[in-house]
Amino acid sequence: MKIHREGYKIILIATLILVAVLYALTEFNAPVWLTALIGIPLLVLYILVIRFFRNPERYSDKTENGVVCPCDGKVVVIEEVEETEYFKDKRIQISIFMSPLNVHVNRNPISGIVQYFKYHPGKYLVAWHPKSSTENERTTTVIKQENGTEILFRQIAGAVARRIRWYVKPEMKVTQGNEMGFIKFGSRVDVYLPIGSDVRVSLEQKVSAAETLLAICN
């Protein structure tokens, strides 16, 4: 299993803690019941931490004018909204919630040039809170395709997720499906599509980054 670079430090710390605790239990001849009581939950937590930072290979859908999902998770919002930061007009918002069990690598939904990027410090409301899109810590990225279509998406921190990472900057050329960032321990990503886009996902649908076709923009 390939591990994402964002997890190297945390996994190292978790390994040292696990080894230290098991060593202490052995050194002080702890009874079997105590070793099991402490060791088993700690081992399970260790496995979950490693699993959280997994980074499987992904291959993007190449449908013409297709927009792929930027993250793994479940679709929790599909609605027409007013986008007030960049477009300042109506857009179709699709929100994908990532649980701690999902792969947390974020990927570019389309290929093109990064037209706009901004990091916003903010609150840490639960990810499904309606105001999390505008009040939580977040990043906003806009990618412009060769045909002029612009897609905006936001990485949004939640109550637990408080470490957003991004690997893009303005004027950078990016490829659909390639890594653009990472959100540690849960949260969500919002995507804003032009009105009239052919949405290809439904509410409560489980989706995969780069591989699930989110919509087609005509």
- Condensed to tens digits (0 to 9), the pLDDT of residues 22-60 reads 888 888 888 888 888 998 999 999 998 898 889 898 887
Which structure tokens are listed for 78?
């599909």
Other CB atoms within a 10 A radius of the CB of residue 179 amount to: 21
- 42 and 78 inside one domain: no
Domain holding 13, by residue range, is 5-52
Structural domains counted in the chain: 2
CA distance 95 to 107: 14
Does a structural domain hold residue 57?
no
CA distance 39 to 49: 15
| Sequence letter at residue 192 | Y
pLDDT at 159: 58
- 123 and 192 inside one domain: yes
- 195 and 165 inside one domain: yes
Inter-CA distances, 143 with 12, 58, 107, 152, Å: 35, 20, 12, 7
Q: Is pLDDT above 80 for 127?
A: no
Does a structural domain hold residue 58?
no
Residue 88 binned pLDDT confidence (cut-offs 50, 70, 90): very high
State the pTM of this model: 0.86
Residue 133: active-site member: no
CA 161 from centroid of its chain's CA atoms:
10
- 36 and 73 inside one domain: no
- 20 and 71 inside one domain: no
Q: Which of the following is catalytic: 187, 197, 202, 208?
A: 187
Q: Is pLDDT above 90 for 122?
A: no
